[in-house]
Structure 1
């Protein structure tokens, strides 16, 4: 047994600790020092928790190592020191969190001038973060006494480790009352406002990026925790500030104030997109969002939309005149004027705004003709699939109208009042019907009409398709936006068949010029239908696939018809199974019966007939004969029963005999292959008795037997070896019954 060997070894660390003059560096040189620490090696922990050792560990993670050291070993000890301090051992946590002098040493790291060493910053953030989770009250009390703590963290926000530290303060503080206290403290320190101020043209890109990412993470974390909170819990003050109109307006002011830069626009738009998130879903589920309605897990705050609406014209101007970018070389040639990340983020923002279906937002986008401009970019930048996807989302959100229940959600009701106020100087459409959802429905219908009339969606689809066909006919490359254009065309067709705006789209199609309407109908009935057919995934290729070149010479047993190659029909599977049963005499019922007696499986092996064509190579026949004559060793437990592996006489016949076992006719390998090549058509699906009778009366007419060698493994004595008995005759059946060979009632159940 394994346990009789004493594999326990004594760690070299224990031998070092026996010395009075052992140093911390010597212990840290040992490969298993961290393992021993986590294994609660008491002697090691007592040594590490000494004052001088703890001070040395903190110094290692907060002090730049000498520059003259070899690079691969320069941060070896700081890394080990960080792992020891964050090993989540209570004695180390108590010592580090309870000694204010050690916390002061850690805090002093933030007081250095930027930039911080990114690796040391990560060590510091990890250590403080572990203390926030394990020694929460002590660390929070210490940090709150430091008036400049938030300022120092934001001073070094260009290091991503500082962003992680802020998120630790927001997400890792327990219990809930203490967490609320920390959030109030951070709000008093104006954390959100100070992060927003960093997203400005005058700041470096790294600081802007980390500040933007921090705000996005705060929004998501706060919303996730708000969903888990009890109803009587206080609201998150940081999230309330972020969603306020004043805060969003301040962010937008920073984005567009002074000289515009792509970094400030992109990072600011990322925060806006996070604020507009209605539910967390992957990209693969976005299109389902429009086809299945607007099921929201979070309602967009109206204050966010109210702050964005006045700046829609600024985003529109970005689409017309983006920040200058130099030409770039792409795989399809030189792009003189790249789309740019700024315009891509504007497209993402428009798609998110249209998803809210806010009447005032939709009306302003319609007035600005933003969709017309986005479609221009869609057909201009034919290889930018990021843009194509966003334009597709915009079209989908316009065509798929929210249900009547969604129209009365708080988000819609908040904006209905704004829409009514905006339209109060007009003809007063809202007063005519008197319904509270009429302004929203009316504006949405205007947006649908704008898409088909002003944006000329149908004409653009037809023109782009014909132009692409012309390019391909001349030997050119298919355009990169054709896949998304196909989905948009299918979207229009689907909404013509059903949907809340079905009648309106049908009327808009009828209003098209006669020649355009005819082109559209022909396109839908022929071109689009054929494209959808080609885009359907085929499970099996029309070409035979081989695992290696050696298989190329093999003749396929299946017909070359395409319909047969695409998939195996149930009939073919039944025929292949039947041929296997014909050759080896097995079927499902027999396997289930053999579960009752394990020896039955071995008994059946002796009955397999191997049929070889007489025309086979004589060398193959000789090899087969030698294998059959070779003696096989017996099982140890076969003494009490008949030796099923005893060497038996091998009989060779010049012609294979048809035999029937349990009502199943058996055939040779050649006949099985012939049957499979013919698709199983030569196999009659009639009763088994008729098949046996045919085999006995006229075996030559069946075309299933051919002269060949038959290796018979059946015992010549005491077993039904008579050919008549295997052909299903009455005499053979009687012999089988007398010998008890086919009777399963005498089998004894196997038990362990």
Structure 2
């Protein structure tokens, strides 16, 4: 049960899914293999590295272009402009069989382990296995599977993941995956998935509430809490919330479901006019008054105040 062995094994299997002949890769993508993989990974007696690396294999099966080993992955949404990937429906079905058990692991309410941090404490820390589950869900949503979307709605998976986003306001790896999940839902061809993220998950309402409490709150019984006797720090998810909010506005220009939802929330309109617009203006470097750019023949930029 060495984590190094688990990682090496997963890397080998992922390489097979990408480069091996169809017959061999088909065995790895079969529902029976997926079932055995999750059966071992979800055993209580096995270390979490088994689950993490098993999910890396599943991610590779869903999207072979993605390399998800190490602290971060080298594939991102911008490389393909959020395009839908194609995966074997039988492979997806095999993964969905274990989805319920996977999502149970996202529950942090009963975990007691504590991690002191510079800003306070995490009780419990998110952990690599939960982060990997969220990454797996983010990739699963890119395949455009109606069966997967229905399961995720039925299990309230996206709602739980959104809660993690706000419960762990300094985990930028988590925020990145959740942002991709939100955008996949909003860009989905399924109106039920869009309705789910907007109404059932009340994501716009959560954005507005987060903007009202920009510093880490104490005494909330959430996993992340500030240090006693210190000024609570600013939450670290504002950049992601800003990007998602701008994406909502962009999609609302062509999507009636999103547009009607945003127009029905007066607080959103006020926040957009008074906060988001100003924030976007501050972030627009072309409007900065600090100077102008001169391009020299030596390809050097000089900024004159």
**TM-score of the two chains, using structure 1 as the length reference:** 0.35
Q: Which structure would you say has the larger Rg?
A: 1
What is aligned with 1:213? 11
Query: CA–CA distance in 2 between the matches of 1:504 and 1:385?
Result: 29
Structure 1 residues 317 and 214, CA gap change in structure 2 (3 angstroms): same
Residue 493 of structure 1 and its aligned partner are, at CA, apart by: 0.8
Are the counterparts in 2 of residues 462 and 520 from structure 1 also a CA contact under 8 Å? yes
Structure 1 residues 301 and 493, CA gap change in structure 2 (3 angstroms): same
Query: CA–CA distance in 1 between the matches of 2:110 and 2:55?
Result: 15
Query: CA–CA distance in 2 between the matches of 1:333 and 1:470?
Result: 10
Residue 522 of structure 1 and its aligned partner are, at CA, apart by: 1.4
Q: Aligned to 1:326, what secondary structure does the other structure show? A: coil
Q: Aligned to 1:351, what secondary structure does the other structure show? A: helix
1:482 pairs with 2:238? yes
Residue 521 of structure 1 and its aligned partner are, at CA, apart by: 0.6
Structure 1 residues 280 and 344, CA gap change in structure 2 (3 angstroms): closer
* Superimposed CA distance per residue, residues 668-696 of structure 1 (whole angstroms, 9 cap, x where no aligned partner): xxxxxxxxxxxxxxxxxxxxxxxxxxxxx
What is aligned with 1:273? 59
Are the counterparts in 2 of residues 449 and 508 from structure 1 also a CA contact under 8 Å? no
Q: Aligned to 1:365, what secondary structure does the other structure show? A: helix
Structure 1 residues 466 and 523, CA gap change in structure 2 (3 angstroms): same
What is aligned with 1:505? 258
What is aligned with 1:566? 292
Query: CA–CA distance in 2 between the matches of 1:487 and 1:375?
Result: 15
Match of 1:525 among 250, 261, 273: 273
Match of 1:251 among 37, 58, 69: 37
What is aligned with 2:210? 464
* Greater relative contact order, per chain length (Cα 8 Å cut-off, separation 6+): 2
Q: Aligned to 1:337, what secondary structure does the other structure show? A: coil
Residue 327 of structure 1 and its aligned partner are, at CA, apart by: 1.9
Match of 2:77 among 286, 289, 292: 286
Q: Aligned to 2:52, what secondary structure does the other structure show? A: helix
Structure 1 residues 535 and 260, CA gap change in structure 2 (3 angstroms): farther
Query: CA–CA distance in 2 between the matches of 1:245 and 1:372?
Result: 27
Residue 447 of structure 1 and its aligned partner are, at CA, apart by: 1.2
Structure 1 residues 345 and 470, CA gap change in structure 2 (3 angstroms): closer
Structure 1 residues 290 and 454, CA gap change in structure 2 (3 angstroms): farther
Are the counterparts in 2 of residues 261 and 323 from structure 1 also a CA contact under 8 Å? no
* Superimposed CA distance per residue, residues 437-464 of structure 1 (whole angstroms, 9 cap, x where no aligned partner): xxxx5xx211111111111111100010
What is aligned with 2:26? 240
Residue 476 of structure 1 and its aligned partner are, at CA, apart by: 5.0
CA RMSD after TM alignment: 2.8
Query: CA–CA distance in 1 between the matches of 2:215 and 2:6?
Result: 45
Query: CA–CA distance in 1 between the matches of 2:198 and 2:13?
Result: 39
Query: CA–CA distance in 1 between the matches of 2:110 and 2:9?
Result: 21
Are the counterparts in 1 of residues 172 and 237 from structure 2 also a CA contact under 8 Å? yes
Residue 470 of structure 1 and its aligned partner are, at CA, apart by: 9.9
What is aligned with 1:668? none
Are the counterparts in 2 of residues 362 and 447 from structure 1 also a CA contact under 8 Å? yes
State how many pairs are aligned.
278
Query: CA–CA distance in 1 between the matches of 2:215 and 2:124?
Result: 26
Q: Aligned to 2:213, what secondary structure does the other structure show? A: helix
Query: CA–CA distance in 2 between the matches of 1:465 and 1:568?
Result: 38
Structure 1 residues 452 and 540, CA gap change in structure 2 (3 angstroms): closer
Residue 284 of structure 1 and its aligned partner are, at CA, apart by: 7.2
What is aligned with 1:492? 248
Structure 1 residues 301 and 470, CA gap change in structure 2 (3 angstroms): closer
Query: CA–CA distance in 2 between the matches of 1:396 and 1:353?
Result: 13
Structure 1 residues 252 and 330, CA gap change in structure 2 (3 angstroms): same
Structure 1 residues 256 and 476, CA gap change in structure 2 (3 angstroms): closer
What is aligned with 2:127? 340
Structure 1 residues 329 and 211, CA gap change in structure 2 (3 angstroms): same
